């Protein structure tokens, strides 16, 4: 489905265009604006596929607005909807996907939507072809461990395993990738209840099957045995955790050029590290990556606040709370963001939800610092009567 915003300085024209597009379907109207600068600000906050844009408007006209829009995201399709035919040359010089004259009809707009859908479908297919040419396989470690194969038609996607222990051993080797691990340590972690002879037999069987799978991926991976130790070398292989570590190591700094990379890496954290598998040997790493994720979202939120993008900062903190809704400092940061936005209703609703959650799940109350912060932000520093009201919503810890 296409995500669209509509821009026209005349509200009746906006309303008509919205009705026509809804009738056609395959499109979500994310926003409607009578001022182009407001639409441009929306593009900085949300991902949009197409902008329907009038041309003759006071202040910033449609041609100028389109230049700003394409500077923000060259992938956005621009459709000019105007009563003026003499701007067509300028419009297509900007690589607009269509130029629709008013008064328009649902039939005419349906052709525009079909053209946009066809263009995007062709782009996705071309991207998929390029990825298949360059990528052979990858490991997914956040959520449920998977080994995804893109190289050999004989292997399904994801890779199938004969036994759960074979799969766990591969996850274990990925967990310790590029590091030698003693065979005894592997047996202790993967087959803790088996005697030495049984465990060794199981290990050799699984190693044999894993080697056969690795052989299907050319030279991407190498499973070595040296000095009674095993090591999986992941030369050229992709791994979501490796990408995550590259960013969370602290070496990269949030800048306008790098923030997109930070967002991409944050999206990799679908759930905690191998959480769905329940492997006992992942506990320490799980806590580390969880902590790193929260710190990453804090860093991203701080960056967005520094450029006055409060909605993006809010999104970062809410994403962190999806993983752990009890983080006091994240909840306090969110209250401050609502205060900066002047959104007292969201501030109150968030505070009440947090208070209720603590009471129902942990049978406790917000920290005194959280109560004090909410009181100051919502009521003001000097209104002592409201302080008692805030505290009555949950006695502070």
The CA distance from 7 to 33, in Å, is 5
* Assigned domain for 305 exists: no
Distances (CA, A) of 360 to 79, 110, 317, 319, 364: 50, 50, 22, 21, 8
The tally of domains found in the chain comes to 3
| CA-closest candidate to residue 76, choices 57, 56, 50 | 50
Residues 224 and 181 placed together within one structural domain of the fold = yes
Tokens of 242: 């490796």
Q: Helix, strand, coil proportions of the chain in percent (round to 5)?
A: 55, 15, 30
* Assigned domain for 247 exists: no
Per-residue pLDDT of the chain (397 residues; tens, 9 = 90+): 889 999 999 999 999 999 999 998 889 999 999 998 888 888 877 888 999 999 988 888 888 888 778 767 767 899 999 988 877 767 765 678 899 999 899 999 999 999 888 887 766 555 444 444 444 688 999 999 999 876 444 444 678 899 999 999 999 999 999 999 999 999 999 999 999 989 988 998 898 888 888 876 655 688 888 888 999 988 655 889 999 998 888 777 888 888 998 999 999 999 999 999 999 999 999 999 999 999 999 999 999 999 999 999 999 999 999 999 999 999 999 999 999 999 999 999 999 999 999 999 999 999 999 999 999 999 875 554 544 545 555 555 6
Q: How many CB atoms lie within 10 A of CB 353?
A: 12
Last residue of a domain, one of 81, 113, 131: 131
The CA distance from 193 to 204, in Å, is 17
Residue 28 — φ and ψ, nearest 5°?
-115, 120
Last residue of a domain, one of 236, 257, 284: 236
Quote the longest CA-to-CA distance of the chain: 85
The CA distance from 49 to 351, in Å, is 34
Distances (CA, A) of 126 to 48, 113, 121, 369: 21, 20, 9, 53
Residues 113 and 171 placed together within one structural domain of the fold = no
* Assigned domain for 263 exists: no
Is residue 154 a contact partner of residue 216, using CB atoms and an 8 Å limit?
Answer: yes
* Assigned domain for 52 exists: yes
Residues 100 and 144 placed together within one structural domain of the fold = no
The CA distance from 387 to 379, in Å, is 8
Cite the DSSP H helix spans in 135-195: 164-175, 183-190
Cite the DSSP H helix spans in 222-274: 240-248, 259-268
Residues 65 and 159 placed together within one structural domain of the fold = no
- CATH number of the domain to which 22 belongs: 3.40.50.2300
Range of the domain at 152: 137-236
- CATH number of the domain to which 190 belongs: 1.10.10.10
Residues 92 and 180 placed together within one structural domain of the fold = no
Residues 192 and 99 placed together within one structural domain of the fold = no
Cβ-Cβ contacts under 8 Å for 68 (sequence gap 6 or more):
36, 40, 60
Residues 143 and 223 placed together within one structural domain of the fold = yes
* Assigned domain for 223 exists: yes
């Amino acid at each position: 489905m296409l995500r669209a915003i509509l821009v026209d300085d005349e509200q009746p024209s906006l309303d008509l265009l919205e009705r026509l597009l809804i009738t056609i379907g395959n499109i979500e109207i994310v926003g409607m604006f009578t001022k182009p600068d407001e639409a441009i600000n929306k593009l900085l906050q949300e991902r949009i596929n197409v902008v329907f844009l009038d041309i003759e408007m006071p202040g910033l006209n449609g041609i100028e607005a389109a230049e700003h829009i394409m500077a923000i995201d060259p992938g956005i399709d621009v459709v000019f909807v105007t009563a003026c035919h003499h701007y067509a040359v300028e419009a297509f010089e900007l690589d607009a996907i269509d130029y629709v004259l008013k008064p328009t009809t649902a039939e005419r707009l349906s052709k525009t939507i079909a053209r946009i859908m066809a263009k995007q479908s062709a782009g996705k297919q071309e991207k998929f072809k390029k990825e298949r040419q360059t990528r052979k396989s990858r490991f997914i470690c956040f959520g449920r461990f998977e080994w995804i194969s893109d190289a050999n038609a004989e292997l399904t996607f994801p890779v199938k395993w004969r036994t759960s222990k074979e799969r766990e051993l591969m996850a274990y080797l990925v967990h310790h990738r590029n590091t030698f691990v003693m065979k005894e340590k592997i047996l202790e972690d993967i087959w803790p209840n088996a005697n030495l002879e049984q465990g060794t037999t199981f290990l050799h069987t699984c190693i044999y099957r894993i080697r056969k799978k690795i052989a299907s991926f050319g030279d991407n991976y190498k499973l070595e045995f040296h000095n009674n130790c095993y090591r999986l070398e992941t030369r050229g292989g992709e791994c979501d955790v490796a990408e995550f570590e590259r960013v969370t190591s602290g070496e990269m700094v949030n800048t306008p050029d790098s923030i997109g990379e930070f967002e991409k890496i944050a999206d990799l954290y679908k759930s905690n590290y191998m959480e769905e598998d329940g492997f006992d040997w992942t506990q320490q790493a799980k806590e580390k990556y969880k902590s790193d994720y929260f710190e990453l979202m804090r860093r991203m939120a701080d960056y967005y606040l520094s450029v006055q993008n409060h909605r993006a900062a809010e999104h970062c903190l809410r994403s962190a709370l999806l993983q752990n809704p009890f983080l006091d400092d994240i909840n306090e940061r969110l209250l401050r963001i609502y205060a900066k936005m002047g959104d007292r209703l969201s501030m109150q609703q968030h505070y009440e939800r947090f208070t209720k959650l603590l009471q129902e799940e942990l049978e406790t109350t917000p920290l005194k610092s959280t109560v004090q912060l909410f009181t100051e932000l919502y009521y003001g520093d000097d209104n002592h009567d409201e302080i008692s009201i805030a505290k009555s919503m949950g006695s502070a810890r």
